[in-house]
Structure 1
C-alpha cells in the first residue's frame, strides 16, 4: 500500500488540474496566436508560467484505486497488476479470464 500522503498528493493534483484547465488552454491559445502582437504573447506566456506547476496534467501519476501503487498500472481497469490478478482469479471482473494451458 502506498503512503497515504502520496495518494492525497495525487488527489490534490487532480483537483488543481481540473480547476486551471480552462485558464491554461486559453493562455496557450494566446501564446500561439500569431495575429496578436509579440508583447501580448509575452504577457500571456508570463501569466502561463505564473500558474502552479501542479496544474499541469502531465504531472499527474496513474495509481491503483485500491492500493495506490504507481507501477504496473492497467488503465483499462484502474488497478495495478497485483490487484488485477486477484480480482481476475475471484471472477470479479466480467469478461476477463486468466490464461491456462
Structure 2
C-alpha cells in the first residue's frame, strides 16, 4: 500500500489540474507558452498518477474501475462488482 503522503500528493495534484484546466487550455490556444510555463508544475495533467482508490497502488490500475488488479480480482470473486465475473472455458 502506498504511503499516505504519496496519496495526498497525488490528490493535491488532481485538485491543481482541475483548478487550472481552463486557464491552461486558454493559454495553449493563444500560444502564450511563456505564461504557460509560469503556472504551477503540478497543474500539468501529466504529473497525475492513476492510483487504486482502495490501496493507493500506482501500478496495474484498471482505469474503468480505478482499482488495482489485486483489489479488482478480490472484489470480483466476492461478487461486489456488478456484471463482472471470472471467465472459464
Q: Give the one of 63, 67, 72 matched to 2:55.
A: 67
Q: Give the one of 33, 45, 52 matched to 1:45.
A: 33
Structure 1 position 100, deviation (Å): 2.9
Q: After TM superposition, where is structure 1 displaced by more than 2 Å over at least 4 residues in a row? A: none
Unaligned runs of 5+ in 1: 32-43
- Count of residue pairs the alignment pairs up: 89
Q: TM-score, normalised by structure 2?
A: 0.95
Q: CA RMSD in A?
A: 0.9
Q: TM-score, normalised by structure 1?
A: 0.84
Aligned to 1:89: 77
Aligned to 1:4: 4
Structure 1 position 23, deviation (Å): 0.8
In structure 2, how many angstroms separate the alpha carbons of the residues matched to 1:86 and 1:80? 10
Larger Rg: 1
Aligned to 2:15: 15
Structure 1 position 46, deviation (Å): 1.3
